[in-house]
Structure 1
């Protein structure tokens, strides 16, 4: 079965956005392994807010990947995206069962929290930036049960960014 990877930038104090939704603290000065990551995946999953943020930044979907937007409120999405209005956990479970490469859970916090809660996230790739935001959007929202992960690798960069690679700990 395909693996779902939550790959996200996070501050030292656990926020993925600043208080006003800002992400200007995220390093974009080098690749940080993203080219290799894009080769590993063929599908990207977005919650509504992350999809809207991506569009506002002028980003376009990579035509080499399938792009799914999960929303109960949107009626349409831009070209290159597929809208999923059903129960997100059921929809993601079905996508995970299809043939293909790994799946990038792009975000956001509520959507990622729901996928963690449902046990659908197999791996975390946390790019920890050397900044304390003090407030903002937390990495996860709505997680009410414990999920344990095993550290698989650590990469550090001269900018101070540290990437932590975790896999979901198998249930004993």
Structure 2
């Protein structure tokens, strides 16, 4: 079965964006393992806001060749020529079926609402957190309003000269 991996940049105080919605604090001075990660996946899951940000910032070309799914309760369709498929109903069964299909791992790109949904339904198998050495003080937290405690098992930790620390965890699911 394929794994869903939440790979995300966070501040040391666990925010994914600052109070104004900016993420200019994220380091882009080197690869930080993204090439290897991108080679390990073939599917990307986006929430609506994250997908719209990717389009707005012209990052869509980086994800060509990957199966892309946009999860939204408000969108009725994606723009013509979109390189993604809109999922606006039966998200749980859709994601479960994706995990059962053959292929490489799946990147849970975010955003916060899709991450919360996937965590609450025990769909996330691994966390790959790139912790940036900055305190934002406020903003959008990575894990907001989780319903229950989730235990993690550290599998790897890499420290970069920039001060970024990349932490990898297995998510230890409880029996339902």
Asked if TM exceeds 0.5, the reply is: yes
Deviation readout 1:74-93 (Å, 9 max, x if unpaired) = 12224211100113222211
Matched, 1:143 2:146: yes
Unaligned 5+ residue runs, structure 2?
none
Find the residue that maps to 1:31 and give its secondary structure.
Answer: coil
In the TM superposition, what is the alpha-carbon distance from 1:169 to its structure 2 partner?
Answer: 2.1
Query: Within 5 Å, which residues of 2 pair with 1:1-172?
Result: 1-61=1-61, 62-78=63-79, 79-169=82-172, 171=174
**TM-score (structure 1 length as normaliser):** 0.96
C-alpha separation in 2, matches of 1:95 and 1:141: 25
C-alpha separation in 2, matches of 1:142 and 1:113: 8
Q: Which moved more, 1:62-71 or 1:25-34?
A: 62-71
Conserved 8 A contact 2:150-2:173: no
Residue correspondences, number: 172
Find the residue that maps to 1:72 and give its secondary structure.
Answer: coil
Find the residue that maps to 2:166 and give its secondary structure.
Answer: strand
The runs of at least 4 aligned residues of structure 1 exceeding 4 Å deviation read: none
C-alpha separation in 2, matches of 1:141 and 1:114: 11
C-alpha separation in 2, matches of 1:15 and 1:171: 26
C-alpha separation in 2, matches of 1:59 and 1:68: 15
Unaligned 5+ residue runs, structure 1?
none
Alignment RMSD, CA only?
1.3
Find the residue that maps to 1:74 and give its secondary structure.
Answer: coil
In the TM superposition, what is the alpha-carbon distance from 1:55 to its structure 2 partner?
Answer: 1.2
Deviation readout 1:121-152 (Å, 9 max, x if unpaired) = 00000000000000000002341111111000
* Residues 171 and 142 (structure 1), Cα distance of their counterparts in 2 relative to 1, 3 Å cut: closer
C-alpha separation in 1, matches of 2:144 and 2:73: 17
C-alpha separation in 2, matches of 1:171 and 1:115: 14
C-alpha separation in 1, matches of 2:18 and 2:40: 29
Q: Which moved more, 1:55-64 or 1:90-99?
A: 55-64
In the TM superposition, what is the alpha-carbon distance from 1:56 to its structure 2 partner?
Answer: 1.4
In the TM superposition, what is the alpha-carbon distance from 1:168 to its structure 2 partner?
Answer: 1.4
